[in-house]
Structure 1
Amino acid sequence: MPPETLPVDPDAEPPPSPRRARPSFRRTARRRQWDILAAIAVGGGIGSVARYGLAQAWPTPPGGFPWATFATNVSGSFLLGLLMVYVLDVWPPTRYARPFLGVGVLGGFTTFSTYTVELRGLLAAGHWSLTDAYALTSLIAGLGAVWTGIAAARRAARLPVRRGPSRRSRSASSAVPRPTSSKGRAR
């Protein structure tokens, strides 16, 4: 069949024109991404092997609390909080730190899929209260671990720990008068 009669994929890029000597921006940008993908892949392999080792060392009994996955996800959240402070505020910018460590190693180490499969298994076995405890404590502990990691990294790097505005600074800086009660005193 001649090439003119073949169906054309609408998502496919047109072939390069022979007049163009330089590669297009899109092709150059795509070529530059392979090194980042390689860094993520190597980091993901390291992180997933570490997670597998922890799961083998700390097996979950049938109907028991999945401590290995819980510890993996909470410690990974803590490490991600630490890492983001160092990558964004402390270390000089690098091309590979965040993709390799954050997306690769910690992305391969932490596991939302295993968490979900374990929740489904606990539900299927009728362990309703254990399922609730695992779901809620994992989310709350993960959020607390990220915050703790950020605060610890900022303290270690001697950066101010951001806590948001206090009541005193909000009231002192606001130009709007506070509402008063019917007796004329501020609430």
Structure 2
Amino acid sequence: MGAGPSLLLVVLGGVLGGMGRVWLGQWVGRHAPSEFPWGTLVVNLLGALALGGIAAQGSAGGALWLLLAVGLLGSFTTVSSFAYQTLTLLRGPRPGLGWLNLVMTLALGLAALMLGHALGVGLLAPGAA
């Protein structure tokens, strides 16, 4: 696949993922108001779960990977917001929340990725529904 179609897939996925992140982040923020960045945590965990499932399908490098993993999930999840919010919490009056955010995001993110991968592999198993 050429650069043009590849970029178009990433752009399409990116637009959808970015819009999804803003919507879900704001929705979570309204339903779980606190100084802790629950919205960012939720989008990052859902993104890790989805990426695990996509990776289990073995589509790395193909059109579906560009659309979903690079475009959609790349713009849906956010390392930069996570890092900024963690730093802000660490410098604030309750720095323990920053450490909690760091540990929860990394540990739960890896667990979500592993779960998504296990679910994705299970979908490929013979006789899987």
Q: TM-score, normalised by structure 1?
A: 0.61
CA–CA separation in structure 1 for the residues paired with 2:12 and 2:68: 10
**From 134, 139, 148, the counterpart of 2:115:** 148
| Largest Rg, 1 or 2 | 1
Instruction: Provide Cα deviations, 1:64-110, integer angstroms capped at 9, x if missing partner.
Output: 2211110100110010000111244xxxx984100011100010100
- Work out the CA distance in 2 between the residues paired with 1:52 and 1:125: 24
Distance in 2 separating the partners of 1:41 and 1:146: 24
2:100 matched to 1:129? no
Q: Deviations over 1:117-166 (max 9, x none)?
A: 1112112213211111110110000111111111111112116xxxxxxx
1:130 aligned partner, one-letter code: L
1:33 pairs with 2:39: no
Count of aligned pairs between the two proteins = 124
- 1:46 and 2:23 aligned: no
Give the share of equivalent positions with the same residue, in percent.
27
Select the structure that is richer in helix.
2
Does residue 84 of structure 1 match 2:55? yes
Distance 2:41 2:55 in 1: 21
Conservation of the 8 A alpha-carbon contact between 1:73 and 1:110 = yes
Give RMSD over aligned pairs. Answer: 2.0
TM-score for the superposition, normalised by structure 2: 0.87
Kindly report structure 1 stretches of 4+ aligned residues shifted beyond 4 Å: none
Aligned-partner Cα distance in 1 for 2:63–2:123: 23
Contact 2:90/2:99 (<8 A) preserved: no
Query: What stretches of structure 2 of length at least 5 have no aligned partner?
Result: none
Higher relative contact order at CA 8 Å, sep ≥6: structure 1 or structure 2? 2
Amino acid at match of 2:12: V
Aligned twin of 1:176? none
